[in-house]
Amino acid sequence: MYVSVVLFTADLRLYDHPPLRAALSGPREVVPLFVRDTGVAAVGFAAPNRSAFLADCLRDLDAGLRGRGGRLVVRSGDVVAEVCKVAAEADADEVHMAADVSAYAHRRERRLRRALEAEGRRLYVHDTVTAAVTPGAVTPASSDHFAVFTPYFRQWSAQPLRDVLEAPRSVRVPSGVGSEELPSRAALPGVSPGLAEGGEAAGRKRLTAWLRSGVAAYEDRHDDLAGDATSRLSPHLHFGTLSPVELVHRARRAGGPGAEAFVRQVAWRDFHRQVLAARPGAALADYRTKHDRWRSARTAGDDIAAWREGRTGYPVVDAAMRQLLHEGWMHNRARLLTASFLAKTLYVDWRVGARYFLDLLVDGDIANNQLNWQWVAGTGTDTRPNRVLNPVTQGKRHDPEGVYVRRWVPELRDVAGAAVHEPWKLGAADRARIGAYPDPIIDLADGLARFRRARDRG
């Protein structure tokens, strides 16, 4: 019997899965394998919220495979060593996996190919599993990647998408390949209390509900902080419990301005991925340096702590940072304004903020997180790198009634309407009611002046 191993990484699903489909073509047995990669933990990427969501995903994937006569094999260790071990145990001829974009993923693929070939086995790496459009499939005339989104989006939109693949009907797994016990979210410490449920079944349910009753209003409501009117599909895209190809097909079928705006946003994900694929160093180094001499954990420790804990004295910033702690997720508008506040108003190194986001975000993703942070810090692909978001103006615009702030900052619960965005202007009686809520840690005009001086100097 011909045997293949399918190594699952950021593609934890059965629907629309090209590596699984390829491995199952013909009369074959397949080992569906997930390796809990100690290399990922060693670089600090196995944050509790993502580990918990991952545990849900693995359980759901195993259940889906069992429903089709198979099961998931889980191992822990160095990913290359474990894949080789499993391939030897199953006497497999080939291994299939999805392409990915980070430097870590590229190294993993090179090492795995070398190790498998040394043992006479083949590695097949499949595109359009973790991205709708493969990085590098569209390029400008003069470069290996797009540095500006609008022309990228034009070409991205014109790319034909492959057809969506059905989930397999049955999966036969060879006997004699042992698995570790599946991890469980209940056993993990430090998980945010409001963390969403992981797994393909939860992802598909959310997508269907979103296309039925959320996406139509997306264009008008995506920046409404209190309305929470975005898809919240980002963790499912990060873990691959939803296929980006299927997502785009289905959203386009739904049609209308809301769906168009939503697809454009999904294209941002591919945009950052093609930047990172071409410039893997941009995960940590400025993509376009402005010669900043940032404040750091050593020189701005108190400001960084206040930002992380949601006690800067700017209500919308504090609400957003508390939402992040509680849910392991934050609204895009809130990510923009909290990141701008740290990198520009407080003039703290964007890497400090990016690291903290990665420690908490359930969708924490090297391409999207690091390159969005660079975009906000003005060292990335933003064509207006020196714009600074004012948290009071932003709060009044995107949370005009103060509902979002009151949801997350209980000290301000009794302040009515938009006045909640400027608690320092309240009268003495109201101020007494907001108790321990802090005064602003910085004057916005001072922050702006410092940032402008720094950028003029650069």
Q: Which residues bind ligand FAD (CB under 6 A)?
A: 222, 230-234, 237-238, 265-266, 268-269, 272, 332, 335-336, 339, 357, 361, 363-365, 368-369, 372-373, 376
Q: Smaller CB distance to ligand FAD: residue 7 or 215?
A: 215
Q: Smaller CB distance to ligand FAD: residue 4 or 128?
A: 128
Measuring CA to CA, how many Å separate 264 from each of 147, 154, 156, 453? 16, 10, 10, 35
Sheet of 94-98: strands edge to edge?
73-77, 28-37, 2-8, 94-98, 122-126
Q: Smaller CB distance to ligand FAD: residue 182 or 216?
A: 216
Q: Smaller CB distance to ligand FAD: residue 32 or 447?
A: 447
We find the least distance from the C-beta atom of residue 76 to ligand FAD, in angstroms, to be: 25
Contact yes or no for 303/344 (Cβ under 8 A): no
Among 404, 315, 355, smallest CA distance to 45 is for 355
Q: Smaller CB distance to ligand FAD: residue 8 or 239?
A: 239
Q: Smaller CB distance to ligand FAD: residue 123 or 266?
A: 266
For every residue of 231-285, DSSP letters joined together read: ---HHHHHHTSS-HHHHHHHHHHH-HHHHHHHHHHHHHHHHHHHHHHH-GGGGTS
We find the least distance from the C-beta atom of residue 188 to ligand FAD, in angstroms, to be: 20
We find the least distance from the C-beta atom of residue 218 to ligand FAD, in angstroms, to be: 7
Contact yes or no for 308/356 (Cβ under 8 A): yes
We find the least distance from the C-beta atom of residue 370 to ligand FAD, in angstroms, to be: 8
Q: Smaller CB distance to ligand FAD: residue 274 or 369?
A: 369
Nearby residues of 96 by Cβ (< 8 Å), 6 or more positions away: 4, 5, 6, 7, 19, 20, 22, 23, 123, 124, 126
We find the least distance from the C-beta atom of residue 173 to ligand FAD, in angstroms, to be: 32
Contact yes or no for 332/361 (Cβ under 8 A): no
We find the least distance from the C-beta atom of residue 312 to ligand FAD, in angstroms, to be: 16
Q: Smaller CB distance to ligand FAD: residue 50 or 96?
A: 50
Exposure b/e, 152-171, CB count within 10 A at least 16 = b: bbeebeeeeeeeebebbeeb
We find the least distance from the C-beta atom of residue 126 to ligand FAD, in angstroms, to be: 20
Name residue 147's amino acid: A
Nearby residues of 428 by Cβ (< 8 Å), 6 or more positions away: none
We find the least distance from the C-beta atom of residue 458 to ligand FAD, in angstroms, to be: 21
Q: Is 29 exposed, middle or buried (0-12, 13-18, 19+ CB in 10 A)?
A: buried
Tokens of 219: 């264009």
We find the least distance from the C-beta atom of residue 5 to ligand FAD, in angstroms, to be: 28
Q: What is the DSSP letter of 381?
A: S
Q: What is the DSSP letter of 411?
A: G
Both ends of the chain: CA-CA distance in Å?
Answer: 64
Q: Smaller CB distance to ligand FAD: residue 8 or 357?
A: 357
Name residue 150's amino acid: T
Q: Smaller CB distance to ligand FAD: residue 116 or 324?
A: 324
Nearby residues of 305 by Cβ (< 8 Å), 6 or more positions away: none
We find the least distance from the C-beta atom of residue 260 to ligand FAD, in angstroms, to be: 13
